[in-house]
Amino acid sequence: MTDNFSRRGFLGTGIAALAVPPATNRGKTENRISRADLIYTQPVERSEEGMPLGNGRMGTLVWTTPSQIRFQINRADVYANNSYSNSFFERHNDYCGGCAYLDIDFDEPPFAGPGFHQKLNVYDGTMSLEGSSVRIELVAWPEQDAIGIQVTLSRPMAVRAKLRALRHRSQYFGKELEVFATGHKTAFETRNHAAECQLLGQGDRILLTQEFREGDYFCKSAVGLKIVGAKAEITSETEARLTVAPGSRTFTIWVASDASFDKQQNIAAATTKLLDSAAAKGYRAIARETATWWHDFWSRGAIELHSDDGEADFVEQNYTYFLYVMASSSRGKFPPKFNGMLWNTGGDLRTWGAQHWFANLSCYYEALFATGRWELLDPAFDMYSGMYEACSVAARQQWGSHGIYIPETVYFDGLEKLPDDIAGEMRELYLMRKPWAERSEKFREFSETKHPHSSRWNWMASGQYEKGRWKITERGSGPYGNVSHILGSTAKIAYLYWRRYEFTGDREWLRKRAYPMLRGAFEFYRNFPNIRKEDDGKYHIRYANSNESVWGARDTDEDLSAMRGVGAALLRASQILEMDADARPAWKEFVNNLAPLPLSTDPDALRPENYQGGEVFARGRKPAVKAGGGVLPDPNSLPMWFFDLCNLESADVERQKIANATFDAYFRNGITANTPVSVLSKLAIAAATLGRAEVVRHLIPNQIRALSPERSTAYKNGGVLANRMTLREGPQALDAQRLGRSAEALHLALLQSAPGAPGEEPMIRLFPAWPKEWDARFTLLARGGFLVSAAIEKGQIASVELLSKAGAACRIRNPWNSAPIKLIRNGAQAESLTGAVLAFETRAGEKIALRRA
């Protein structure tokens, strides 16, 4: 295998993006990780193709003009408004994340000639940039929120580092100035919302602060700039500048940032302290610290791939890069927004605004469980746990239920508490107990100031001004919109909490974090007014959405799957924690009497009128407000993938058969190297889950390549940019969603640890959907808390080792069919086992190797 993995030929993605060949003087891990490096030999055409640099909390793309290096400093904890806002009722106009522009100007154009070279060193977490007479090194400090930019000049020239506000009105030394940001501009005041920027000079530093206010809501941020190693002076024109006089050869520009929702916190002082801390430690020391942090990060798991045609190598390269992007952007108080992450370059413009869609967020975070890097998942868990109380109120107010309701589309702090009369009318309207045409004038007026992207108000399509008044355009289906009646997101989110427990065995996590979410999600369904036991003795749901395409249907597949999955997990968690024993009989009765999942053979299934195919899953049953296009068959959106209802371990053989039939019916013309897979698609995940190795080899790389344009607004026709990201969601909505989806599919193709049904004990399977043409070695985390390392070459499994992190009992499919197996425990030969399934006890920290007898 060593020879195969050392014979590498790699192709980059995007303009001027090259791969780095292995270097003989580097270690094995460094060689592997360095294959994901970005190298540009010419400047990118647009700012969105800059290279990403971040520490998980603050970040920027780095791009150039002939005489500039440019940045936009962004943070994951900066929001211009929250769920109570009534100032942003136009699509895409709410904003978040952006803090300041930073430009480094040279009095000569060093980046216009043939000597241009920009490199992102993924292994060390550093970046370098070279031009005529200029060399730049950049590092984002993982420990604190500072970025260091070391500049080396080979001949004297003036250099200016300037901060610019993202909005058009700001204050500098107490004097109001007009500051125009390149690209998008937003008003200083937007109805009840105010955004105020202030540029301050403090000795050898400059600071740009911004504050957002609306009602009781408040958020502020600061970005500071300091130059070390050169004499600099503050100058001002229409921005704040630190100018380095000609003669200085090597100096460091430090950029620091901070943010807070606390009006009393002095973030200008905090940012100044960060600048001084970074300057005192020095660039080289911080670069070493940063490299150490990244080396540790890369040591905690690995995937190494090779195939003669280069496809496996290509997948590995993009997988490693995805982990870099997540580590650079997802270690803060909140998850980075899917539409831009920390990489916006156009000011406040961010297509799809400031709310979180779970379908998009899931692309990033479902892929991370097998990596065991929980610090990258924490921001998502913290955000949803942080809105628990607001979502509990929403369950009662909006739906007349109990538990919690987390909408598909939601602000970072959940949903606003409604006036009682508005909430009461909303329940009657949304539960279809009051005709839509009879809604009150007060309800109409209240809704006119709400954002149409919000699940709660998604029946609004958009709007326009008529005689100075905003007039709503409705979707035409009463209270329904794409995400208005999606209920399953609550259960999907809760199930991720349960899955984290399965991967770690952490009972404190289960008790404090997961159990409240599971119970809240299940009680929401169990008490939902439009779920009733009907004449057949089964619980049926009415007037719900399945994903975004089916509106107001009966027995939606999403909800029937969600109730089964989260109910089973809750029952199991209740037993483990010995809690709520008196509630279990009612919970079991509910789960055991749910209506069956809808099939195409059901008389009232949602299916095309002329459907002539075999039995496959359907999206729901009639009646429906909107059946959607192409609803049958569609393995891409099957909710069973979320809840362990269908996999290779499933005890329900018939359900597994129907899932495979649904998959095959979707690809009636087969799967080839040219079969497109969309950015958000779960098709590759479905194929891996079902063990379809013959198509995994096409679907995973094809999803990474984004073969087909998806939106006319996306740069390069929806294709991949030089930085391996896409603009699938529109202008300034840079994303790595497809890399997350393909990473999850890759994990499932290499290693599965699914239970036979939700809440049951997991079973480890090695290489369950692995293409025989691809060689691989990996270290990944399995449910049960087992860190699994294995290798395969030419279709033969070469080695298997386990590290038991939680001391759980292990159940694993025999890697060599039914051959006799010897266990090597902590280096000493132990017991022998036989059979297709191997079961044995372990101790926490124990290393166990499996060897053929």
Report the CATH number that the domain containing residue 130 is assigned in CATH.
Answer: 2.70.98.50
Which of 21-30, 271-280, 507-516, 736-745 is the least confident region?
A: 21-30
Q: How far apart are CA 441 and CA 138, in angstroms?
A: 57
Q: Evaluate whether residue 110 is within a structural domain.
A: yes
Tell whether 274 is covered by a domain.
yes
Last residue of a domain, which of 299, 323, 339? Answer: 299
> At 669, is the pLDDT very low, low, confident or very high (cuts 50, 70, 90)?
confident
The residue length of the chain stands at 853
List the CATH number of the domain containing 848. Answer: 2.60.40
Q: Would residue 665 count as lying in a domain?
A: no
pLDDT at 8: 37
pLDDT (0 to 100) of residue 13:
30
Residue 372's region, left for phi above 0, alpha for psi from -120 to 50, else beta, is left
Q: Is residue 20 over pLDDT 70?
A: no
Contact 148, 156 (CB under 8 A): no
In a domain, 309, yes or no: no
User: Is residue 247 a part of any domain in this protein?
Assistant: yes
pLDDT at 468: 83
Confidence (pTM): 0.94
Q: Is the peptide bond before 633 cis (omega within 30 degrees of 0)?
A: yes
- Mean pLDDT score of the chain: 92
Of the three residues 246, 271, 299, the one that is the final residue of a domain is: 299
Tens of pLDDT, residue by residue over 194-225, are 999 988 887 788 999 999 999 999 999 999 99
Q: Is the pLDDT of residue 46 over 50?
A: yes
Task: Name the domain count of the chain.
Answer: 2
508, pLDDT greater than 90: yes
> Is position 701 within any domain?
no
How many Å apart are CA 201 and CA 656, to the nearest integer?
66
Mean pLDDT of 313-321: 98
Q: Is residue 603 part of a domain?
A: no
Question: What are 446-485's pLDDT values in tens digits?
Answer: 999 999 999 999 999 988 888 888 899 999 999 999 999 9
Q: Give the pLDDT of residue 247.
A: 77
187 part of a folded domain: yes
At 306, the pLDDT band (50, 70, 90 cuts) reads very high
Burial 565-592 (b: 16+ CB within 10 A, else e): bbbbbbbbbbeeeeeeeebeeebeebbe
| Domain stops at, among 249, 280, 299 | 299
- Mean pLDDT on 251-273: 96
Whether 340 contacts 388, CB under 8 Å = no
* Residue 636 banded pLDDT, cuts 50, 70, 90: confident
**Distance, CA of 815 to CA of 827 (rounded, Å):** 20
* Least confident residue range of 36-50, 489-503, 629-643: 629-643
Q: Domain span at residue 803?
A: 783-852
